[in-house]
Amino acid sequence: MQNSRSGENAMSLNSPPPKRVKFSSQFFRKQFVAIGGAGLLLLISIPIVTSTIGARSEERASNQKVLPVETVEVRQVDNYKLLRNYTGEVAAQRTSELGFERAGKLVWLGVDRGDRVIKGRAIALLDTRNLQAQRARLLAQKAQALAVLSELKNGARREDIAAARAEVSNLKNQLELEQIKVNRRKYLYSQGAISQESLDEVSYTARALSDRLDIARSSLEELLNGTRSEQIEAQKAAVRQLDASIAELDVNIDKSTIRAPFSGIIAARQVDEGTVVRAGQSVVRIVEDTAPEIEIGVPSQILSALEIGSKQKVKIRDRAYQARVASILPEIDRATQTRTVILKLDENSSLVASKEVARLQITRTINTSGYWLPTTALMRGERGLWSCFALIDTENVADRYRIEKRDVEVLYTDGDRVFVRGILSDGDRVVSRGTQRLVPSQLVRPFALKE
């Protein structure tokens, strides 16, 4: 190890010294001149490049395409009219299927489809000949019963009393004669002149005449005393029974005629004359001919705008009608949480049919500040808001504006316009259509300012 180290030292000591580079003053002067010239050139070129970039930017700005746009000037208002439609239906008018309460043969039908009838008018009639015959028989029986009742009330005639007295006298005489015969036969029988049989014959005849005399005397006494009240009441009851039977027939005869239950129009004719119809079978259908009603459910907070008797606008099949508020039902519909309003249509609404859909239009004034914009001016924004483009003046450029995006909240929509509030000011000009081809800061030229 020592030898090696000594060898290395020997070699380093014996090696020649390194070569030195010599720089002259002339060399340094040349280098300084070159560096200074480059720096000077750099300082001169910086403003030149800067001015070139600015010129190009101005050139691009001046050459940017200016889009023509339609605009509208917005004005702030303090309220807007809120129009709401509430749907209901035309209430069913009275409709009846008319038929007879008894079966029979149809002998007369005095109406046809489309005929107008008034309440109580006869429409159809069944054959009632058998009922009329029964009624005539009962009337005859009643007449007979009334005659008997009159006789009972008036009492016996003098002729009847005289005849009864004559009968009593005659029987009395006959009885006296028979008593003489009986006494004579008894004597003869005691003498043995006649048999017991002969005596019995005259005795029996005397007893029979005595009984007949008692009956005659009772009849005479009855005639003299007059008719008893029980007989009179019994006869009166018989007369009332006949009256009830006649009344029942009259009801059946009346049921043989169909009369209009209300004024209306004949909607259908189901059978023709000569048909034997069943009890309850429909013969004609009648629809009430009155101004129809409309039933519409509205929220309770709207009821203040619907006074009883007030006129309201109602649409049926895109046709407007005037209706009067007739009543407001007190109960709330649990399903819709609304109260039912009954509206009466005017008399000129005869073409309206039941069950048709009706729409009630109610206008309310909402007091809030905002602006009216066309719907075409709106773009969908963020967080449920909408946006529009407002024009901003540009400096030193005539008839050119930049557009700025403004967020607005839509409060009400009315056809092709909306009522909004948001970042707008009175007198702002807003792009009214074609917003899909614009971007913020776009240069535009309004149609209204175009020469």
Please spell the DSSP secondary structure of 53-72, one letter per residue.
Answer: HHHHHHHHHHHSPPEEE-EE
**Stretch among 22-31, 226-235, 314-323, 353-362 having the lowest mean pLDDT:** 22-31
Write out the two tokens for 304. Answer: 């203040």
DSSP letters, 316-329, are: ETTEEEEEEEEEEE
The owner of tokens 């971007």 is 439
Is 231's pLDDT higher than 50?
A: yes
The tens digit of pLDDT for each residue in 160-177 reads: 878 888 988 888 888 888
Token digits of residue 163: 């005849």
Three-class SS state of 111: coil
* Domains 67-78+367-449 and 85-93+289-365 equal at CATH topology level: no
Predicted pLDDT of residue 253:
95
pLDDT of residue 4: 37
pLDDT at 62 over 50: no
In the structure encoding, which two tokens stand for residue 344, read together? Answer: 């009466």
Write down the architecture of domain 67-78+367-449 according to CATH. Beta Barrel (2.40)
In this structure, is the dihedral angle defined by the CA atoms of residues 293, 294, 300 and 303, taken in order, positive or negative? Answer: negative
Residue 246 CB contacts under 8 Å (≥ 6 apart), including other chains: 135, 138, 139, 142
3-class state of residue 119 by DSSP: coil
Asked if residue 403 lies in contact with residue 444, where contact means CB atoms within 8 angstroms, the answer is yes
Count of C-beta atoms within a 10 Å radius of residue 406? 18
More confident residue, 191 or 360: 360
Q: Which helix (H) or strand (E) holds 135?
A: helix 129-154
Dist. CA 124–CA 275, nearest whole Å? 12
Least confident of 51-55, 222-226, 332-336: 51-55
How far is Cα of residue 219 from the mean position of the Cα atoms in its chain? 80
* Contacts with 290 (C-beta within 8 Å, 6 or more apart), sequence order: 93, 263
Taking the CA atoms of residue 163, residue 167, residue 169 and residue 171 in that order, the dihedral angle to the nearest 10 degrees is: 180
**Helix (H), strand (E) counts: the chain:** 6, 22
The span from the CA of 336 to the CA of 297, in Å, is 8
List, in sequence order, every residue forming a beta bridge with 140; answer none if it has no partner: none
Q: How do the domains of the chain map onto residue ranges?
A: 25-63, 67-78+367-449, 85-93+289-365, 98-123+260-288, 135-250
- Alpha-carbon distance of 151 to 157, in angstroms, equals 9
What does the pLDDT read at residue 247? 96
Q: What's the confidence (pLDDT) of residue 120?
A: 94
Backbone angles phi, psi at 416, to 5 degrees: -100, 20
Joined tokens for residue 102: 């008894």
Mean pLDDT in the chain? 81
- Is the pLDDT score of 188 beyond 50? yes
pLDDT computed for residue 14 by the predictor: 38
State how far the alpha carbon of 47 is from the alpha carbons of 33, 38, 52, 56, 59, in Å. 23, 16, 8, 14, 18
Give the pLDDT band of residue 82 (cuts 50, 70, 90): confident
Q: Could you tell me the pLDDT band of residue 350, with boundaries at 50, 70 and 90?
A: low
3 state SS of 428: coil
Give Cα 206 distance to the centre of its chain.
97
Give me the pLDDT at residue 46, please.
42
Q: Are 417 and 372 in contact (CB under 8 A)?
A: yes
**What phi, psi does 260 have (nearest 5°)?**
-65, 120
Res 25: pLDDT: 43
Task: Provide the pLDDT for residue 61.
Answer: 45
Using pLDDT thresholds of 50, 70 and 90, give the confidence band for residue 347.
low
Single out the residue of 313, 338, 343, 339 nearest to residue 327, CA to CA.
343
Q: Which residue has the tokens 């509208």?
A: 72
- Residue 161: its H or E element: helix 158-190
Stated as kind and residue range, the H or E segment containing 255 is: helix 229-255
Measured between alpha carbons, how far is 283 from 268 in angstroms, rounded to an integer?
8
Beta carbons of 329 and 339 less than 8 angstroms apart: yes
User: What topology does CATH give the domain 98-123+260-288?
Assistant: OB fold (Dihydrolipoamide Acetyltransferase, E2P) (2.40.50)
Interacting residues of 214 by C-beta distance below 8 A, sequence separation 6+:
none
Bridge partners, residue 340, by sequence: 297
Most confident option among 89-93, 304-308, 381-385, 402-406: 402-406
3-class secondary-structure state, position 330: strand
Give 387's strand partners: 379, 407
Mean predicted confidence (pLDDT) in 388-406: 84
pLDDT tens-digit map of 236-291: 999 999 999 999 999 999 999 999 999 989 999 999 999 999 999 999 999 887 77
Residues 6+ apart with CB under 8 A from 255: 100, 101, 102
Q: What is the average per-residue pLDDT within 313-318? A: 88
| Third-level CATH fold of 85-93+289-365 | Elongation Factor Tu (Ef-tu); domain 3 (2.40.30)
pLDDT over 70, % of the chain: 82
The two beta strands, 104-109 and 276-277, are antiparallel
SS3 2: helix
Name the band, by pLDDT with cuts 50, 70 and 90, for residue 385. Answer: confident
